[in-house]
Structure 1
Amino acid sequence: MSDDLQALEAWAGALLAKLQPAQRRAINHKVAIDLRRSQAQRIKAQQGPDGAAYPARKRRKEFKGKNGRIKRQKAAMFAKIRTAKHLKVKATGDQIEVGFFGWVARVAHVHQFGRQDRVSKKGNAYKYPKRPLLGLNDLDQTSIREALLRWLSAK
């Protein structure tokens, strides 16, 4: 994966080096938005970059064994942090960043790497299962190449 990413960077870097800085920023911004969209769709489908499903949530104790009662509808994991408000894009002439910033970054980091965190401020600590939110797969790399080629062929 790392070798593929370096090859993509070398290939795109050579093409982008011939462009003006404003053109590089524009194309990088377009590619970053496409990448953010694909990451958000993957998070919505609750899949990691490798296509594996996220581990299921732990069942809440208050609902165990209570059949026939009206229960709260299950909310999808990461429904809010996958929005454009929290899943940010930073694009300059030299680089593209798609990620979480601020307090959302801490929550995402805990889930990305399966770390331990408190459920609430004074609550118990819980070791969350690993749920990789961000990452590049082959489809993302292909879409980056195609977006660069489309943009360059249009010019």
Structure 2
Amino acid sequence: MRTAQAAARGPHLRHPSRRHVPPYPTGPPSARHLRATSDANGLRVDYAGRVARIARVYQDGGVDRAKRGGALVRYARRQLLGLSDIDRKQVGELLLSHLTGKGVR
């Protein structure tokens, strides 16, 4: 319960030096966090370390800490990358028609 003196000052405001940090990433990590690996089967580009965990939670949803030592927060799934099943089928059909010379016109 607030005191009469606190009520007279108005609503509580944060100290100006305390910046509000949203409890979720504001966008995908930058390219400096990428790592590339390759083997005989191909090339793979993905995020490394802590950034990989943040990207995975941001993409697939899940539970993570909003800040170090903070409370656990459940994040909704926000799929940013990837193809749906319908997209995959359409790409496969277009590729097949292109390779066989029976292009869709």
- Give the shorter-chain TM-score range: 0.3 to 0.5
Rg: which structure is higher? Answer: 2
Between Structure 1 and Structure 2, the one with more helix by share is 1
TM-score of the pair, normalised by structure 2: 0.47
TM-score of the pair, normalised by structure 1: 0.34
Larger RCO, structure (CA 8 Å, separation 6 or more)? 1
Between Structure 1 and Structure 2, the one with more strand by share is 2
